[in-house]
Amino acid sequence: MDIRVDVRIIASTQSDLRDMVLKKSLREDLYYRLSVITLSIPPLRERKEDIEDIVSQLMQQNNTESQEKKISVKAINAMLKYDWPGNIRELCNVVERAVLLSTKNTIQTKDIPLSLGKKNRNSKLRLLMSMGEVEKEHILYVLGASGGNISRASRVLGISRPKLYRKIEQYKSGAKAP
Q: What is the pLDDT of residues 70-83, one digit of tens each?
A: 999 999 999 999 88
Shared-domain flag, residues 72 and 99: yes
pLDDT the model gives residue 4: 93
Shared-domain flag, residues 32 and 48: no
Shared-domain flag, residues 78 and 100: yes
175 pLDDT above the threshold of 50: yes
Q: What share of the chain is helix, strand, coil (3-state, %, to 5)?
A: 55, 0, 45
Shared-domain flag, residues 102 and 16: no
For 39-67, write each residue's pLDDT tens digit: 888 889 999 999 999 999 999 988 877 77
Q: What is the CA radius of gyration of the chain?
A: 20
Shared-domain flag, residues 150 and 81: yes
In a domain, 97, yes or no: yes
Over residues 32-39, mean pLDDT: 86
pLDDT the model gives residue 124: 44
Q: How many independent structural domains does the chain possess?
A: 2
Shared-domain flag, residues 66 and 79: yes
Displacement of CA 115 from its chain's centroid (Å): 15
Using an 8 Å Cβ cutoff, are 87 and 111 in contact? no
Using an 8 Å Cβ cutoff, are 44 and 88 in contact? yes
Shared-domain flag, residues 49 and 35: no
pLDDT the model gives residue 170: 84
pLDDT the model gives residue 127: 56
**Banded model confidence at residue 164, pLDDT cuts 50, 70, 90:** very high
Shared-domain flag, residues 93 and 52: yes
Shared-domain flag, residues 90 and 135: yes
How many other C-beta atoms are found inside a 10 Å radius of the C-beta of residue 20? 16
Element (H, E) at 100: helix 87-101
In a domain, 105, yes or no: yes
Shared-domain flag, residues 35 and 58: no
Shared-domain flag, residues 52 and 10: no
The closest alpha carbon to 173, from 19, 67, 96, 84, belongs to 67
Residue 133's domain spans which residues? 44-172
pLDDT the model gives residue 146: 74
Q: Which of 22-31, 42-51, 164-173 has the lowest mean pLDDT?
A: 164-173
pLDDT the model gives residue 117: 44
pLDDT the model gives residue 98: 86
What CATH number corresponds to the domain at position 69? Answer: 1.10.8.60
pLDDT the model gives residue 65: 76
In a domain, 160, yes or no: yes
For 85-138, write each residue's pLDDT tens digit: 888 888 998 898 888 878 789 998 888 875 554 443 444 445 566 788 888 888
In a domain, 178, yes or no: no
Side-chain-facing half-sphere of 43: CA atoms under 13 Å: 10
Burial class from Cβ neighbours inside 10 Å (0-12, 13-18, 19+) for residue 139 reads buried
Using an 8 Å Cβ cutoff, are 94 and 113 in contact? yes
